[in-house]
Structure 1
Amino acid sequence: MDPASTQLSRLKMRLFINFFALSAFLVGLVGSAFAQDHSIPFLNLEAEKEKWVEEAYLSLSLEEKIAQLIMIPVYSNKDKVHIDSVSNLVKRYRIGGMIFFQGGPVRQAQMINRFQQESKVPLMISIDGEWGLAMRLDSTLRFPFQMALGAVRNDSLIYEMGREIARQSKRAGLHVNFAPVVDINNNPANPVIGFRSFGEDKERVSKKGVAYMSGMQDEMVLASAKHFPGHGDTNVDSHYGLPVIHFSKERLHELELYPFRKLMEQGLGSVMVAHMHIPVYDNTPNLASTLSKSVVTGLLKEEMGYEGLVFTDALNMQGVASYYEPGVVDVKALLAGNDMLLNTMDVPATITEVKKAIESGDITGEELDRRVLKVLKAKAWLGLDNWEPINTSSLVSDLNAPYARHLSRQLAAASLTVLKNKDSVLPLKNLDTRRTASVALGSATLTSFQQGLDRYQRLDHFYLPKDADRNKLVNLLNGLEGYDRIVIGVHGVSLRAGSDRFGITPEMNLLLKELNNTKEVVICVFGNVYALNELVDLPQSAAVIAAYQETADTQDLVSQLVFGGIGATGTLPVALSSVFPLGAGMELEGGIRVSYGMPESVGVRSEQLAGIDSLVQLAIRERATPGAQVLIAKGGRIFFHKAYGHHNYELAREVSIDDLYDLASITKISTALAALMHLQGEGKFDENETLGHYLPMARGTNKESLVYRDILTHQAGLTAWISFWQATQRKNGRFRWYTFKQDSSLRFPARVADKLYIHRKYGDKIYREIMDSKVDPSQGYVYSDLSFILAPKVVESITGMDMEFYLRSNIYQPLGADGLTFNPYRVFPATQIVPTEYDSLFRRQLLHGTVHDEGAAMLGGISGHAGLFGSANELSKLMHLYLNDGRYGGESLIKPGVVRKFSKCVFCETSGNFRALGFDRPSRPGDPNGNAAASAPVTSFGHSGFTGTYIWIDPENELVYVFLSNRVHPTRENRKLYQLNIRTGILEEVYQALKANGLYKSGN
């Protein structure tokens, strides 16, 4: 083309663009009843982008202009033949874009990079990502279904989800997300929309649709409202047939079109037109709305004044494909007024048919140009005027960022809907007096929901799979006879409406009816909310929770809701019945027990805690310990909970977060001190009284007048420790005959280790030896085990019951901390118990399931100074009781003020003894080599254990920290855990993260 011709073409181009803008303005005036408050984002571009549009337009031939309106389907999980065929269409026909379906993000990104480099004009890449990229791509993050979002009261969360989905889309090289669905699902039998809709209320659908759309478009990804003019009240899936809409124009404008209008007013970038037959607008037989000029041009563009991009729904769906051949259906869609042809199945045929339509005058060149310009403007706004290849490095991790996972969990939690809560059964209380079981309906194996429940209380679990017959039902009912409270999870619910009643079987209904007659039933339905209608006896249950979908996160969150870790604010987005109408949903307060979340849930970024992993891995690498558990909570929310390494250096078994460790001296504050604080709350113990006052065996000895305040602060002058086990051996190393036997009997009942049982009265000898030991108050502070060894006898003397029973009845069971136990071999499998030391001197074996401490072992494994086993999770419940000054689970288990008093430093100002009443306090505040983290406030307290355990409580920052390890494996001589400052170093990492986010409180 010569320069003069080029200049003339550019002049014509500018005149046409001006005419295009004026036409759009006039169309807007025609549709003044639907006038927009916000302009469509790509219609007003800056000069540089307008220049790119002009140059791109001028570079196109007629065939290439037609191709700009074509989007083909592409899959990243198909073979090279498919990839090459797509490449050929890009290079040969210069298509305008593509929609990606199933595959993976890296493979897809590699394909996009290739196709973009081969394309003359950058391609517009789109995806159906209604609930995020995971709708189509593996290895990506799933957000809640729109029906779940319809239950969320806080629309700002949905806006933030839109932004995050857009960020992920851009990172993956995508420009258009065909979302949100703004169909009003007022037909429960709808087979294609259902859970994809925000609900049946037009205002709710509109507000949430605007929030989703605005979030995406604020991050420069084009939203697309679908399925115009509204697919919610149909009973035919347009993928397989042509739904017919027999509504009046008044009904359509009042209801179905309402959300589209609201989104258009806020600057909606694009609309997808559905395949439906709407006689009131076009009574041509079997003509889909997508192919109707009356619907697309007349209603959408002229009457409603819509100026954005108009996409067809997929042109290979049977709603249109069963009536017209490829190419023919495409040109009909263009004639109707659509701008972009989605899923064109025969590109050359489509180009040929459109050229015929232009030649015949059915489509003018100006009309074609107007649509091409609109597409190019959208491409410029999307940044395709400056396209750069997708960086595939760290793509998967970027698409699974912790913040996004946290946001997804926030949305799921906000959707949870409590529909019934008779007599405030939720959150569950009285854990010590009510026998509770769980039942999984629709599952034959342990579910994530049941695992979540076990974090709060160890329950017995039962199952009724979908194929269960009446015999299995009867057996299940018999098995549940001894329980008075049943928590039911309904699993495997069908997502779509159909003939299977959403997967609810008659046996499930029979079970629910029988249980409602005799038990207190809490029922949680995971999946399509319409399934609740199929559970006939549901309204008779004590509590009902709708969870909308079945994911690991949702099951986790519902288990927290059941026990009061989190609350509930969701409301029903659809009407289920007169009992459960639209908008039903009770607000339930959470926080009565711990909850479980991510670092982001307490205002810390996950990456800011990477140092914790590094420190534990350092400990494992340096063989300071073979494995560990780490748990950290803030404000009652456990935001970090991990297991590391293995049970031993043979690497045979990995550590699980449910495994039990020997807690060693943490036993002191978890048993003896817990009992004494509880007794003080009852007015039965006073730290100003003497040991002799409470313990008869101390009377008449040098310990009678020892004051408990001095005893608990380790300055009473007691001997540090006594090696009781040495008195059991002869000089040749053999045990004395009256001490141990290999087999248990009435005389030798207590297990000290495997095949080693101690005489039933040997404990009396230990107590006498303590009573005979020296007392020297002049020595000042000396850490001693002896008073804690005596503590069970003190508790027994005060209460008349043994300490283990007293603790279990008054503290552990009400806490739901059944996993805190002495002698775990009695109730837990060996595989769940982490071994400690190979004892080469006394027991001459690997200690596994019996206590490491020799004295505690010789007392039958039960003592106040050592012997308790537990996981970090179970121990954290007790530590939260202490953090909350004796309150947990809605109950005051220790009288208010008692823990606060016991955790204060007693003699700091007078003697330099830094200890509280039984608890450790920072011995050298600010010193990284001290017993506490350098940033731990002076008001914080805790304890450590010889086996490598450590807990710390910080009331200023509301922190609970638990570190469990078996650093004594295989020998206690290994002191690397201390030398490396692993335990306090981990907590310091948390403090540094709090400081970085302005969350740290020094307490000064």
Structure 2
Amino acid sequence: MRQITIIFIALFSFALSVAQTTKNPLLTSDYAAQKKWVDSLYASMTLEEKVGQLYMVQVMSNQDQATKNKVIKTIKEHKIGGIIYSNGGPVRQAKLNNELQALSNIPLLIGMDAEWGLSMRLDSTYAFPWNMTLGAIKDNKLIEQTGRQIGEHCKRLGVHFNFAPVVDINTNPKNPIIGNRSFGEDRDNVTEKASYFMKGMQDAGVLANAKHFPGHGDTDQDSHLTLPTISFNEKRIDSIELFPYKKLIHEGLSSVMVAHLNVPSLEPRDGYPSSLSKHIVTDILKERLGFKGLIFTDALTMKGAANFSETGDIDLAAFQAGNDVMLMSEDVGIGVAKIIEAYKNGKISESRLEHSVKKVLQAKYKVGLNRYKPVKLYNLSKDLLRLKDDILYEELLENAITVVKNKNNLLPLQRLETKTFAYVKLGDDSGSAFLDELRKYAKVHEIQSDNLYTFMSSLKAYNTVIVGFHRSNDNPWKSYKFSNKELVWLHEIAQNHTVILDAFVKPYALSSLKSLVNFESIVVSYQNSEIAQRKSAQLIFGAIPSKGNLPVSIGNHFKVGEGIHNNELKRLGYTIPERVGVNSEKLKKIDSVAQVAVDKMMTPGIQLLVARKGKVIYNKNFGKHTYNGKEKVAFDDIYDVASLTKILATLPLLMELEEQGIVSLNSKLSDILPEYRNSNKSHITLKSMLSHYARLRPWEPFYYHTLDTITKRPSKKYYRNKRSNNFNIEVTKNLFLRTDYQDSIPEIIKNSELLESQRYRYSDFPYYILKKFIEQHYDRRLDELAQSHFYEPLGANYTLYNPYYKISSKKIVPTEMDDYYRYQKIHGYVHDMGAAMQDGVGGHAGVFSNANDVAKIMQMYLQKGYYGGKRYLKPETIDKFNTCYYCDDNNRRGIGFDKPQLGDDGPTCGCISMTSFGHSGFTGTYTWADPEEEIVYVFLANRTFPHAGKNLLLRENIRTEIQRLIYEAIEN
């Protein structure tokens, strides 16, 4: 008994101290002016007008005219104090709001349920993540910013009160109405999140509302449908459910919404709603907790309250309990009449009425209704869907997504060359964004079947299965559970494969899994929005780190607060330009330049990509595969990258050999290829050769020597239309070169004359020579080496030689209608004739790729040889090859890499750092990387189709003009 007394005294002392120190949150800094306005207005009001101020009625901007007329009548007859807007659209609501405000002598106080943004009620508006998602975030400044930006949206639409944040502590996983709307089950985390959210929103000038008092988190009933019971004792409620209110009240909370709950320990009358309990509203909230802000009832039309009494009686009971505003009364007219009658009968004192009405007026002054202005319609829709909201949404998801299991550190995924990936979609909502993003990192096949046996048979070809569980993201109340069939299938998959399970629902979904033993990795992504799907895929592959912590426990599997934090692997991520200091509006200028190139027939189509600081910020396609075709350029289409092959295949392999000491930049041709010892090229070094400063001829039309001297078509001496051992080099479809002719090409190069003077002269010969050396050293083909050493581990799955036998022709962009050598459309076969005569595998040409893959390789260079958790090359090696050794001789070239011009003309916009590097290709391709600005730029085109002709892309400086626009868009 003594212990109970001590506890009671302590609680009473705390409550007393709170009550004494809490200020009225509705008062403003210009208190005197506010008091004068409130007192003057109150003194001029009739009794009916005063009572009318206690009412906030529901209005929908999509309602019919008859319903609208009822609202107008209510405003005119009962002088109501406010409106709570519900369903509709923003422009319609703004127009209606201006109309209704004009009808009211005293400006209306406007409220909305916009817990995760206006989208909770309105179409065409922004939806931020739900509170459960926010509860997983460690950085509370992001929560504050969320509250601020939601507040900005509300204010722009003329909304003064947002009935948020929900501060219910969701300790009951079966709660049907709170769930995702709660920050979680930990009272401290919920309180912190609510506090920061409140601060952000109120700093934006919109008043916050904590709900649902005294706590709706631990119940499995919905107060919209019945009167839920909270069966805990007062000590438990005080220490858990009331905990957030204590802190928020102390920090300036503007209002509280009282729920319709049956709380026997706080209200002894059986089945008596908390919203009508004087002990709960007045004794506890106002007196013990010292709350001086506005007190709203929850909607009086909800079954938890509406079943309580006859129409109007509940309004009076709610007011007598201590509530200030009756929200969504069943009948305002009857309710007002009953309160007026009680006032006249002395059951409600003048001071009691004045107390609540003046609080309403104080709130109106605080939100600026003393100088009311209509909502401006100009740019309204644009102002409610801002770029800064997209940026914040991305940041929130990046910080929320939670890894809860990660056996053997499977995530983030590494050693991609050892893995074969299948994706399995469960749930009833789309997972297309997730799959698309996964495919940016690896070759991922979606497996679908209605038959379990067939399904499991199809999965045998894969050693890693990514399962996405996708349920509707429309609202937080949608079903989140696995079906029985899905549980069976998931069990079978996990028993037989390495599985990454990614749940795009609230964490409770995982509770239905009996065992998690067979799952290697489990990710909770919380929501199934497109951004959540894309960011989760990026996390799986290590483009972003994992930062989230569970806001709730998941059955017996995981406890609240758990989360495995992994670092990123420095793979390319995908984000909004502003997040890396680039202006997206300025960057859009690229669109018009690229479109001009297509419209003026400089090239049929273009793939464009820009990355900065390791993030892809621009990736668009223009035009079609051919001018007269129907195939529009897609992200997974591949182009013949021509001379980009030099830096994408041959050069990195040579860098490896240089690191291993097999060669050096000073190695001579006679050192690496014995047959050159007695040639005129024996003294040529790798350094001079790869700097295009070795007097080598630019090129040799090898194919020309194999044409019939009369017809100028492929000679029967050298070609056949069918493959055989003697004619085994496929230069294009159904045209095979003599197998032994490959030996002739190196001989022609070896015996060729040198240029008379030593000067910069671009030449393909070095890469023919290096191809032979590299292949002899490894005793493997160049294409196989590039694949195993770089493309496969990098996840460059769209990068390869000779794609015609591996990829559908629909995904390969054609390069030319050849009317001088092969006399057919060159489609899937290398455009360069010399590379074609080497079975499509040249050191100087032959690689096909898409912009995303080229960017991966360039990003690896930019990161000094590191990418995706693996070091491919040493930083000093990158620096050694990215050096201009002959600049003093007016030769800008690095070792293999092209470099910026030394004078006025050259390969770049002239606005780029001298440490930058890149290359261009005959087919219209171009890529460049800049270490100083951390920029990677990729331009892929097929300007040679249908005929090479004049290089209009080069003549019109299209590629370098786009480069200039990129740099003009950089702001910091």
TM-score > 0.5, shorter chain as reference: yes
Task: Write the mapping of 1:377-396 to structure 2, written as runs, cut at 5 A.
Answer: 377-396=362-381
Maintained 8 Å contact 1:180/1:209: yes
Question: Which whole-Å CA distance do the structure 1 matches of 2:410 and 2:15 have between them?
Answer: 58
Task: Tell me the equivalent position of 1:333.
Answer: 318
Q: Name the amino acid aligned to 1:550.
A: N
Question: Which whole-Å CA distance do the structure 2 matches of 1:982 and 1:28 have between them?
Answer: 75
Task: Tell me the equivalent position of 2:784.
Answer: 805
Question: Which whole-Å CA distance do the structure 1 matches of 2:510 and 2:430 have between them?
Answer: 22
Question: Are the structure 2 counterparts of residues 56 and 948 from structure 1 closer, same or farther at C-alpha, using a change threshold of 3 Å?
Answer: farther
Maintained 8 Å contact 2:231/2:265: yes
Question: Are the structure 2 counterparts of residues 723 and 525 from structure 1 closer, same or farther at C-alpha, using a change threshold of 3 Å?
Answer: same
Question: Are the structure 2 counterparts of residues 503 and 745 from structure 1 closer, same or farther at C-alpha, using a change threshold of 3 Å?
Answer: farther
Question: Are the structure 2 counterparts of residues 248 and 902 from structure 1 closer, same or farther at C-alpha, using a change threshold of 3 Å?
Answer: same
Task: Write the mapping of 1:321-720 to structure 2, written as runs, cut at 5 A.
Answer: 321-442=306-427, 447-463=432-448, 472-492=451-471, 502-650=480-628, 652-695=630-673, 698=676, 700-720=678-698
Question: Are the structure 2 counterparts of residues 127 and 979 from structure 1 closer, same or farther at C-alpha, using a change threshold of 3 Å?
Answer: farther
| 1:784 and 2:758 are equivalent in the alignment | no
Task: Write the mapping of 1:296-311 to structure 2, written as runs, cut at 5 A.
Answer: 296-311=281-296
Question: In structure 2, the residue corresponding to 1:268 is in which secondary structure?
Answer: coil
Question: In structure 2, the residue corresponding to 1:936 is in which secondary structure?
Answer: coil
Task: Tell me the equivalent position of 2:833.
Answer: 854
Task: Tell me the equivalent position of 1:162.
Answer: 147
Question: Which whole-Å CA distance do the structure 2 matches of 1:47 and 1:632 have between them?
Answer: 57
Percentage of matched positions with identical amino acids? 40
Maintained 8 Å contact 1:906/1:916: yes
Question: Which whole-Å CA distance do the structure 2 matches of 1:985 and 1:572 have between them?
Answer: 48
Task: Tell me the equivalent position of 2:166.
Answer: 181
Task: Write the mapping of 1:750-899 to structure 2, written as runs, cut at 5 A.
Answer: 750-754=729-733, 756-776=735-755, 778-899=757-878
Question: In structure 1, the residue corresponding to 2:552 is in which secondary structure?
Answer: coil
Task: Write the mapping of 1:705-744 to structure 2, written as runs, cut at 5 A.
Answer: 705-727=683-705, 728-741=707-720
Question: Which whole-Å CA distance do the structure 2 matches of 1:731 and 1:49 have between them?
Answer: 100
CA displacement at 1:748 relative to structure 2: 4.8
CA displacement at 1:41 relative to structure 2: 4.4
| 1:931 and 2:912 are equivalent in the alignment | no
Question: Which whole-Å CA distance do the structure 2 matches of 1:388 and 1:972 have between them?
Answer: 64
CA displacement at 1:208 relative to structure 2: 0.7
Question: Which whole-Å CA distance do the structure 1 matches of 2:569 and 2:387 have between them?
Answer: 23
Could you tell me the TM-score, scaled by structure 1's length?
0.90
Question: In structure 1, the residue corresponding to 2:397 is in which secondary structure?
Answer: helix
Question: Are the structure 2 counterparts of residues 29 and 541 from structure 1 closer, same or farther at C-alpha, using a change threshold of 3 Å?
Answer: closer
Is 40-49 or 854-863 further displaced after alignment? Answer: 40-49
Task: Tell me the equivalent position of 2:949.
Answer: 973
Question: Are the structure 2 counterparts of residues 119 and 960 from structure 1 closer, same or farther at C-alpha, using a change threshold of 3 Å?
Answer: same
Could you tell me the TM-score, scaled by structure 2's length?
0.93
Question: Which whole-Å CA distance do the structure 1 matches of 2:253 and 2:965 have between them?
Answer: 45
Question: Which whole-Å CA distance do the structure 1 matches of 2:653 and 2:295 have between them?
Answer: 71
Question: In structure 1, the residue corresponding to 2:99 is in which secondary structure?
Answer: helix
| 1:950 and 2:926 are equivalent in the alignment | yes
Question: In structure 2, the residue corresponding to 1:256 is in which secondary structure?
Answer: coil
Question: In structure 2, the residue corresponding to 1:960 is in which secondary structure?
Answer: strand
Task: Tell me the equivalent position of 1:217.
Answer: 202
Question: Which whole-Å CA distance do the structure 2 matches of 1:739 and 1:105 have between them?
Answer: 73
Q: Name the amino acid aligned to 1:400.
A: L
CA displacement at 1:398 relative to structure 2: 2.3
Instruction: Give CA-to-partner distance per residue, 1:903-938, whole Å, 9 cap, x none.
Output: 1111113x121100000111137x5x6422333111
Question: In structure 2, the residue corresponding to 1:432 is in which secondary structure?
Answer: helix
Q: Name the amino acid aligned to 1:520.
A: T
CA displacement at 1:269 relative to structure 2: 0.6
Question: Are the structure 2 counterparts of residues 120 and 624 from structure 1 closer, same or farther at C-alpha, using a change threshold of 3 Å?
Answer: farther
Q: Name the amino acid aligned to 1:683.
A: G
Question: Are the structure 2 counterparts of residues 88 and 931 from structure 1 closer, same or farther at C-alpha, using a change threshold of 3 Å?
Answer: farther
Task: Tell me the equivalent position of 2:271.
Answer: 286
Question: Which whole-Å CA distance do the structure 2 matches of 1:113 and 1:747 have between them?
Answer: 85
Maintained 8 Å contact 1:434/1:484: yes
| 1:240 and 2:246 are equivalent in the alignment | no
Instruction: Give CA-to-partner distance per residue, 1:47-83, whole Å, 9 cap, x none.
Output: 5554544454455433333222222222233444444
Question: In structure 1, the residue corresponding to 2:418 is in which secondary structure?
Answer: coil
Instruction: Give CA-to-partner distance per residue, 1:669-718, whole Å, 9 cap, x none.
Output: 00111221122223323232223433456454433442221110111111
| 1:960 and 2:960 are equivalent in the alignment | no
| 1:116 and 2:95 are equivalent in the alignment | no
Maintained 8 Å contact 1:493/1:528: no
Question: Are the structure 2 counterparts of residues 677 and 844 from structure 1 closer, same or farther at C-alpha, using a change threshold of 3 Å?
Answer: same
Maintained 8 Å contact 1:628/1:964: yes
Q: Name the amino acid aligned to 1:423.
A: N
Question: Which whole-Å CA distance do the structure 2 matches of 1:651 and 1:71 have between them?
Answer: 61
Task: Tell me the equivalent position of 2:188.
Answer: 203
Question: Are the structure 2 counterparts of residues 687 and 57 from structure 1 closer, same or farther at C-alpha, using a change threshold of 3 Å?
Answer: same
Task: Tell me the equivalent position of 1:3.
Answer: none
CA displacement at 1:814 relative to structure 2: 0.9
Q: Name the amino acid aligned to 1:462.
A: I
Task: Tell me the equivalent position of 1:987.
Answer: 963
Is 151-160 or 318-327 further displaced after alignment? Answer: 318-327
Instruction: Give CA-to-partner distance per residue, 1:31-51, whole Å, 9 cap, x none.
Output: 434455665144554555545
Instruction: Give CA-to-partner distance per residue, 1:749-772, whole Å, 9 cap, x none.
Output: 554445545444443444444334
Task: Tell me the equivalent position of 2:885.
Answer: 906
Question: In structure 1, the residue corresponding to 2:58 is in which secondary structure?
Answer: strand
Question: Are the structure 2 counterparts of residues 445 and 115 from structure 1 closer, same or farther at C-alpha, using a change threshold of 3 Å?
Answer: closer
Instruction: Give CA-to-partner distance per residue, 1:83-111, whole Å, 9 cap, x none.
Output: 44434433444332222222222222222
Unmatched 5+ stretches in structure 1:
1-26, 998-1004
Question: Are the structure 2 counterparts of residues 432 and 717 from structure 1 closer, same or farther at C-alpha, using a change threshold of 3 Å?
Answer: same
Question: Which whole-Å CA distance do the structure 2 matches of 1:74 and 1:743 have between them?
Answer: 78
CA displacement at 1:622 relative to structure 2: 4.1
CA displacement at 1:388 relative to structure 2: 2.6
